[in-house]
A = this chain, B = another copy of it.
């Protein structure tokens, strides 16, 4: 497999190229339907990997509980939304396993076992946990499940014997934590029962929300994968460009201009995008014309996804069957890993 599948990777020892022998694990917390930021950042890479590596998409519903334990009502519905999104963009369940975390009891058992291999202070030092704790304003009232989140993630990754994990660079400490646990299990077992994993860093910069801030469902500044043509039009029109660019004839800034960020991410005609940037910088290209182009690009991308999604949404039984079959396959894999890890802890050998 060459780098062309995923485009040029970032320079640095942290990222790794996919190999045909890799086992890839990735997934999403089901906090609602996915948006174009997910598509640019990870869904597209998964489509590229499909058929080249063994790949599992894990809908991490247990992790969706950890940040809103008081409000649990929507998790099951959101699982369906995410599954619909996967299928709508072209994830093929015959090639890529789609599974639901809370349906794989081996992952909970691995989590409980791994909790013995990590100290509290090690978890508290985890930069990803630290950052999220700050972001969510938990301070000392952090739920225990949140502190233990890196352990749960290590269970997910090692539970599938994943060797390659597509992540953002803010997630690199999670990979490190997973490999620490994997090495401790292997030391306990006196054998290499679990593989270490490598990070696959996305080459795409994070796509901003239409207002230029971080894209987020709660801010309403993300374009859903299932957006209607009207929603796309409305959101593109609301896009932040260059506040100094008041007339079409005046020169405008490309950097920080959300429209160009989206064109960079989704317009396949790179030559034209380069030309548009030059014209915009020089003066003579208005925001309205620019946005009209982006609207066309996004509508062309989203229209087939939207149509397929609407069709799938009418066939609830099919989606349920995809999840059932995916969970079944995933259970076989994760139960086998659990047996090995139980062996490492000397828990095997008595009453089954």
Contact = CB atoms under 8 A, between A and B. Distances in A.
A121 B140 contact: yes
16 contacts: A65-B116, A66-B115, A69-B117, A72-B344, A72-B345, A75-B346, A79-B350, A100-B350, A100-B351, A102-B347, A103-B351, A111-B112, A118-B143, A118-B144, A120-B144, A121-B140
Given A108-B105, A112-B62, A350 B80 contact: yes
A146 B112 CA distance: 11
Given A103-B351, A121-B140, A351-B324, A115 B145 contact: yes
Given A100-B351, A324-B352, A351-B320, A65 B105 contact: no
Interface string A48-76: 00000000000001100110010011111
Contacts of A323: 350-351
B344 A116 contact: no
B347 A61 contact: yes
Copies per assembly: 2
Which secondary structure dominates chain A's binding surface? helix
A151 interface: yes
A113 B106 CA distance: 14
Nearest to A188: B72
A28 interface: no
Interface string A94-138: 000000101101101101110111111101000000000000000
Contacts of A103: 351-352
Contacts of A62: 112-113
8 nearest A-B pairs in the assembled complex, by CB-CB distance: A323-B351, A115-B145, A116-B145, A69-B116, A105-B105, A108-B109, A108-B112, A108-B108
Interface string A268-289: 0000000000000000000000
Given A69-B116, A324-B351, 14 more contacts: A65-B345, A72-B188, A73-B346, A75-B346, A76-B348, A76-B350, A102-B347, A105-B105, A105-B108, A118-B144, A119-B144, A120-B143, A120-B144, A121-B141
B141 A119 contact: yes
A83 to B, nearest CB: 8
Report which residue of A65, A73, A112, A143 has the largest number of chain B beta carbons within 10 angstroms of its beta carbon: A112
Nearest to A70: B188
A110 B342 CA distance: 19
A118 to B, nearest CB: 5
A152 interface: yes
Nearest to A184: B69
A348 B112 CA distance: 22
A327 interface: yes
Contacts of A143: 115-120
A142 interface: yes
Contacts of A348: 76
A237 to B, nearest CB: 36
Given A65-B345, A108-B105, A116-B66, A350 B320 contact: yes
